[in-house]
Structure 1
Amino acid sequence: MSSSAILPANQKRRINTLRVVMLVMIPLVLFTRPGLPLYGGLMDFIESVGMLLVIGGVLGRFWSILYIGSRKNALVMRDGPYSICRHPLYLFSTISVFGFGLMLGSLVLTMVMTALIFYVLNDIASKEEQFLRSEFGPAYEEYAAVTPRIMPKFSQFSSPATVTFDTGTLRRNFFDALVFLSLLPIGEMTEHFKDIGALPTFPLF
């Protein structure tokens, strides 16, 4: 199949799909609470781990953008985060959502949100790869044969000593980072309103 027969994935559709998924999850975030109480230091520890994962996910997205920059769909990037998986932006987005779930203290909610986001992002990645395979042919097939799609393979990390990046692309992705960073105050405010009884909730372990 020629590269002209397949167009790059519609990024606006990708963003809108993720927005719909987030809207679906809002009721679960607002109106559930941990089915088993977690007291004192354990809950604080889980929340702290969740916060660190959210921040780590944001930093990971910036790390990925430093490498791919404005070259997305223009070459087969195999360095840095792209050496451990083919779609590191989606990996770190999933990590941020997992961290947000931990902040809320519910194992079921964490698993549901993470699985849903991972499913959507994996499907989007599959559609994006249709273009990449048609555009780059054997070069992308070789890359895909040894590099997992989203789940990382850290043992094959590699990177050149010097990396150049596009400041415009990094600046545009700053707003995506703000969306993920907003999970931190949203999680804290949600828990506060639940604690004072301002939100009706049902238990979800």
Structure 2
Amino acid sequence: MTDEAKSEPAGQTEGLGGYQHMRRIVLAVLIVVLFCALLFGQSSFPPETLIHESIEMFGVLLILLGIVGRLWSTLYIGGRKSAEVVTGGPYSITRNPLYLFSTLAAAGVGAQIGSFSGIILFSLLCAGAFHIVILREERYLRELLGAPYKAYLAKVPRFFPNLALYQEGDTGGFRPRLLLNTLLDGLVFLVALPAFELIDGMQQSGMLPVWFTLP
């Protein structure tokens, strides 16, 4: 059970815990799929070329943005998701900033192929998988939180942010352990960097087969 779930009332913990478990399964499956894609895929742009290296560096920036964004989101939502409607900070511009920033980080992992297609495909795969979880969470929270949450649904976009809606809001208290857990989860994306450099070297040496290339 996560710390967020522990902080919820007993009647709410069971429902929220199920969605948190689903989210972790989705993330685990995505990581495996992305790893396999990078293991046997290769960019059509040769390694060490400027465009290949530029795409990889852009991906690093996306990963860092995703990690920082997840930490920012946790500052606001930690322990309060099923207790109240959180409308400040990143939650004032999108209802699902944790999923949004995770998708950005996944796109950054896809960029480590050195391919524009990798960025697009990985972000679409991640966003599509999260969309299913988001819809189920919304049904649960609509029943749990009632009218305030319905008003929030009507005002704030589900995924793509509307920066014009930004409000600072209240973080609800600083929780170091929740931030640490989020940071550790996000570091998985950074681990991809040296891992896929190794994969790229093994492909170039012929130790790993290349099944497909991406532009």
TM-score norm. by structure 1 comes to: 0.88
Q: 1:185 aligns with which of 194, 197, 201?
A: 194
Tell me whether 1:146 sits opposite 2:155 in the alignment: yes
Counterpart of 1:97, as a letter, is A
**Displacement of 1:163:** 6.1
**Displacement of 1:189:** 2.2
For structure 1, which runs of at least 5 residues remain unmatched after alignment? Answer: none
Q: Which residue is 2:203 aligned to?
A: 194
Query: Which of the pair has the greater relative contact order for Cα pairs under 8 Å at 6+ separation?
Result: 1
Alpha carbons 2:76, 2:89 under 8 Å: kept? yes
Looking at structure 1, the residues matched to 52 and 30 of structure 2 have their Cα atoms a distance apart, in angstroms, of 27
Q: 1:203 aligns with which of 177, 188, 213?
A: 213
Report the more deviating stretch, 175-184 or 127-136: 175-184
For structure 2, which runs of at least 5 residues remain unmatched after alignment? Answer: 1-10
Alpha carbons 2:107, 2:118 under 8 Å: kept? no
**Displacement of 1:111:** 2.1
Tell me whether 1:79 sits opposite 2:57 in the alignment: no
The count of corresponding residues between Structure 1 and Structure 2 is 202
Alpha carbons 1:58, 1:181 under 8 Å: kept? no
Q: Which residue is 1:130 aligned to?
A: 139
Alpha carbons 2:92, 2:166 under 8 Å: kept? yes
Alpha carbons 2:26, 2:130 under 8 Å: kept? no
TM-score norm. by structure 2 comes to: 0.84
| Correspondence list, 1:30-41, <5 A | 30-37=39-46, 40-41=49-50
Report the more deviating stretch, 109-118 or 95-104: 109-118
Identity across the alignment (%): 35
Looking at structure 2, the residues matched to 53 and 189 of structure 1 have their Cα atoms a distance apart, in angstroms, of 20
